[in-house]
Amino acid sequence: MSAPVGYAKNGRGEVAPRTVSILGATGSIGASTADLLRRRPDAYQVEALCSHRNADALARLAREFGARFAAVADPAAYRALKQGLSGSGIEAAAGADSVVEAAQRPADWVMAAIAGSTGLAPTLAAVERGGTVAVANKECLVCAGMLFMSRAAQAGTTVLPVDSEHNAVFQALAAGRREDVRRIMITASGGPFRTWSKEQIRAATVEQALRHPNWSMGPKVTIDSATLMNKGLELIEAHHLFAMDQSAIGILVHAQSIVHGLVEYIDGSVVALMGSPDMRTPIAHCLAWPERIEAPVKSLDLAEVGTLSFEAPDLERFPALKLAREALEAGNGAPTVLNAANEIAVAEFIDRRLGFAGIPALVEATLNEAVRRGAMHEPASVGDAIAIDHTARRLAQSLVPEIAAKTL
């Protein structure tokens, strides 16, 4: 007999709570995951949690869930973490290696929700350990997708997509055979500037870009949604997760964020997955897969939504999407460079040293310069991916003044 949802059989054949770890526990995805775990305290045992430097929130979560191990990436946050955990018996650690250790601790299920390519080493460490890894950290797949998927296959790891669009495609793929799939489609809300002119977008402020119409998310992914780079990264993510050629992955702008992903089969049937825009739905799906657990999300009322609209993305106003498609086609490390340059560009924009139009412009200039210098190749190891990422970051950083002068 199979164990009830959230429970796993231990080595002695007894039913025990499923052990889970959250990488990036203090972020937006981490909070949604914690919210679901909180509702079923007897079904899940938290093994490890980690964050960058938010020691107080991490210590609170570790205490609340009775975690066994908590790590901050920033050694300067160690004292605060140690203090926050004093008397709890929870092991505290700090530094990049301890974040990797958090990923390697024995857990049945790991949520990989560190933002950015800094999540590469820990996410890959989780994937190499086996078990089930729910992947939110899309930059990791963009940066080293081939490596990621081959390591997962070698370790027999179940990779479950957290991104709502990929989670939707994953679910819609269950409706047929893989060889009968004609194409997949992911949707984009279009972000806050969907209806803005090119000139208005060029002058967009940080505050305007951070105001997403449908989703509440961390700052990096929110800015990526405004440039549509998020969809570009998701295109690359989908290519790796579903082993689909980029020409068979479509992108649809769908302002209501109700239909998240679609799969078209060779007989013309299109299976779409709908749901209210709330990340707790795909996270709950990953947490309970292949079963289901209840998630505290608003029931979808299509009569209330009224209209579902779809349009093709405008690559002229949102060039980031075109850059991502070209990088995917070029391969050989171009997605790694694209991602690194984008992370620099978003940080510079948030710090107001780059205009909004400077984000895709910096990414394009970095890609061109990396090609000119022959600084790109397909990453063969984590170290290799990190080296390409670091070179691209330095390159992007050096190009900031020139691009800022043109776009501020």
| Alpha helix positions (H), 228-317 | 229-242, 280-288, 302-305
Amino acid at 226: A
- What x-and-dash track marks residues 163-192 binding ligand NAP by CB under 6 A? x-----------------------------
The footprint of ligand NAP on residues 112-131 (CB under 6 A) is: 113-115, 118
Instruction: Note whether 20 binds ligand NAP by CB under 6 A.
Output: no
Helix (H) or strand (E) holding 200: helix 198-202
Instruction: Note whether 26 binds ligand NAP by CB under 6 A.
Output: yes
Instruction: Note whether 275 binds ligand NAP by CB under 6 A.
Output: no
Task: Tell me the residue number closest to ligand NAP, measured at CB.
Answer: 27
Choose the binding region for ligand NAP from 145-153, 217-225, 243-251, 353-361 (rule: CB under 6 A). Answer: 217-225
Choose the binding region for ligand NAP from 110-118, 176-184, 265-273, 331-339 (rule: CB under 6 A). Answer: 110-118
Q: Are the C-beta atoms of residues 6 and 293 closer than 8 Å to each other?
A: yes
Tell me which of 7, 8, 21, 25 binds ligand NAP, using CB under 6 A. 25
Cis before 290 (ω within 30): yes
CB neighbourhood size of 97 (10 A): 13
> Angle, nearest 10°, between helix axes 164-172 and 229-242?
30
Residue closer to ligand NAP by CB (options 7, 117) is 117
Site size toward ligand NAP (CB under 6 A) is 29
Choose the binding region for ligand NAP from 41-49, 137-145, 320-328, 355-363 (rule: CB under 6 A). Answer: 137-145
Nearest to 121 by CA among 90, 151, 82: 151
Instruction: Note whether 343 binds ligand NAP by CB under 6 A.
Output: no
Instruction: Note whether 213 binds ligand NAP by CB under 6 A.
Output: no
Q: Are the C-beta atoms of residues 128 and 121 closer than 8 Å to each other?
A: no
What contacts 24+ positions apart, CB below 8 Å, involve 15-18? 16/45, 17/42, 17/43, 17/44, 17/45, 18/43, 18/44, 18/45, 18/108, 18/109
- What x-and-dash track marks residues 49-88 binding ligand NAP by CB under 6 A? -xxxxx------------------x---------------
Which phi and psi (to 5°) does residue 15 adopt?
-80, 125
Tell me which of 20, 29, 59, 81 binds ligand NAP, using CB under 6 A. 29
Q: Are the C-beta atoms of residues 97 and 125 closer than 8 Å to each other?
A: no
Among all chains, which residue has been given the structure tokens 């209209």? Answer: 307
CB of 22 to ligand NAP, least distance (A): 8
CB of 129 to ligand NAP, least distance (A): 17
Residue 380 three-state SS: coil
Nearest to 81 by CA among 56, 111, 50, 108: 56
Instruction: Note whether 28 binds ligand NAP by CB under 6 A.
Output: yes
Residue closer to ligand NAP by CB (options 102, 399) is 102
Choose the binding region for ligand NAP from 108-116, 299-307, 345-353, 363-371 (rule: CB under 6 A). Answer: 108-116
Termini Cα distance of the chain: 63
Choose the binding region for ligand NAP from 134-142, 179-187, 252-260, 268-276 (rule: CB under 6 A). Answer: 134-142
Residue closer to ligand NAP by CB (options 94, 376) is 94
Amino acid at 81: L
Nearest to 130 by CA among 224, 220, 227, 19: 19
Instruction: Note whether 218 binds ligand NAP by CB under 6 A.
Output: yes
Q: How far apart are CA 137 and CA 52, in angstroms?
A: 14
Binding residues (CB under 6 A) for ligand NAP: these are 24-30, 50-54, 73, 99, 113-115, 118, 136-139, 163, 215, 217-218, 220-221, 279
